[in-house]
Amino acid sequence: MRYLTAGESHGPALVATLEGLPAGLQVSSQDLVAELSRRRLGHGRSPRMAFEEDRVEVLGGVRHGVTLGSPVSVVIHNTEWPKWVDAMDPEPRDDLDEIRATGRGQRLTRPRPGHADLTAALKYGYDDVRDALERASARETAARVVVGTYAKRLLAEVGISVVSHVVNIGGEQVPDGAARPGPDDLDTVDASSVRCFDPDTDARMVARIDAAHADKDTLGGTIEVLAYGLPPGLGSHVHWDRKLDTRLAAACLSVQAMKGVEFGDGFDLASRPGSQAHDEIVREDDGTYRRLSDRAGGLEAGMSTGQPLRLRVAMKPISSLPQPLATVDLDTHQPAQAITQRSDACAVPRAGVVLESVVAFELADALLEKTGGDQVSEVRRNLDGYLSSLEGR
Ligand SMILES: Cc1cc2nc3c(=O)[nH]c(=O)nc-3n(C[C@H](O)[C@H](O)[C@H](O)COP(=O)(O)O)c2cc1C
């Protein structure tokens, strides 16, 4: 499978096109809207943003709520477009000087540190930083969530589920050994305003975000993504770009503001002796193989082992600070304060939903590589055939 997204944050719409999805999956616009609404909430959001509605329109690849096997194309309309039509009009305009003089169309010349603003302006020759920030904005992640909704539905057909939860916000950490959400715990995680599964840490995270907000500051954090029900052997050891960990890491790092990925015990493994770093293998009476621990996070040599997948992703604090950082004005070349954009104090809770989506896409892609199949029933049959072939091995 492959996908492309297009669209600017305040343009008329975002578009996602997903190719390679099998026929026979039931996904309605309502399913897309429900998943998109999970991406909007979370403590630390500016209230106005939390209430923004997403309006989706499926343009192709689906008939009567069932995928056809043809490319799926979905538009996510910008409900605020009427306010932005002059500033972001894709058509040539005679009144450009007027548009750029005031209001939303006014040129932005004070790039924000930690954003695409300065480097993209230099690289693409923009004289208005808006040309950079519109596409670099994490609004694009709405299109990823649409793609992820289809991927999750395919995975669900073969009993695979993807769950994320927040394990750290601004240094407020879930303690080692705390319970992790299982495959059916997503609603419990979503019920927490910081999407934290540990109730004690939840309250401390909320307090930390409130304190950052009061200080006019922002916070990052760490998100854990888990996948249950994976068969052994998704991905491959035979070539670098077929390794599942390569692909998952790239996908996670492609999400705006993600700065690090670890699988299983990850960076901690570097400080341990080998005797405490791997997962020893036993064979059960029923002929299945089992690991005695979960240090590798369900991946060995670029392949799923059949254990739950476990990875963590570090997100940096939001770079649009209410108290702007120092920068340089691109017109005057004088020191200045960075532009302020409407922004959250902490986007870690909702970033988890985006990470679920990109992880789901990579897992669905790896699943289809293993099973092939143009229709869902064929995917299921081929997977069952493969799993049966493992019996007695
Ligand atoms: C879900 C989500 C929401 C985000 N919200 C904001 C925001 O409100 N303000 C902001 O400045 N950055 C926000 N970001 C982060 C920026 O998009 C990101 O830092 C920026 O594009 C630079 O990319 P880089 O950090 O990957 O280098 C958000 C990221 C995600 C994943």
pLDDT digits 0-9 by tens, 315-342: 999 999 999 999 999 999 999 999 987 7
Residue with tokens 């601004």: 170
Residue 138 CA to ligand 1 center (angstroms) comes to 5
Average of pLDDT values for 113-141?
97
> Residue 46 — very low, low, confident or very high, per pLDDT cuts 50/70/90?
low
Q: CA of 379: how far to CAs of 60, 299, 386, in Å? A: 22, 22, 11
Domain boundaries, the chain: 2-389
Q: Quote the pLDDT of residue 345.
A: 93
Pairing verdict, β 289-291 and 72-77: unpaired
Query: Is residue 247 pLDDT above 80, yes or no?
Result: yes
What pLDDT score was predicted for residue 2?
Answer: 98
* Average pLDDT score over residue span 180-196: 97
CB 206 within 8 A of CB 194: yes
- The pLDDT assigned to 305 comes to 97
* Higher per-residue pLDDT: 135 or 41: 135
Band (pLDDT 50/70/90 cuts) for residue 49 is low
The pLDDT mean for the chain works out to 96
CA 182 – CA 180 distance, rounded (Å): 6
Question: Residue 308's closest CA among 164, 157, 199?
Answer: 164
Q: Compute, in angstroms, the gap from residue 1 CA to the centroid of ligand 1.
A: 26
Question: Which positions ≥6 away from 389 have C-beta within 8 Å?
Answer: none
Burial (CB < 10 A; 0-12, 13-18, 19+), residue 64, is exposed
By the 10 Å C-beta count (0-12 exposed, 13-18 middle, 19+ buried), 94 is classed as: exposed
Question: Which numbered atom of ligand 1 lies nearest the CA of 49?
Answer: 8
DSSP string spanning 157-210? HTT-EEEEEEEEETTEEPPTTPPPP-TT-HHHHHHSTT--S-HHHHHHHHHHHH
Terminus-to-terminus CA distance in the chain, angstroms?
A: 31
Q: Can you identify the CATH homologous superfamily of domain 2-389?
A: Chorismate synthase AroC (3.60.150.10)
Ligand 1 atom with minimal separation from the 137 CA: 17
* DSSP code string of 114-127: TSSHHHHHHHHT-S
Q: Ligand 1, from 39, 318, 344, 358: best to mutate by most atoms within 8 Å of Cβ?
A: 318
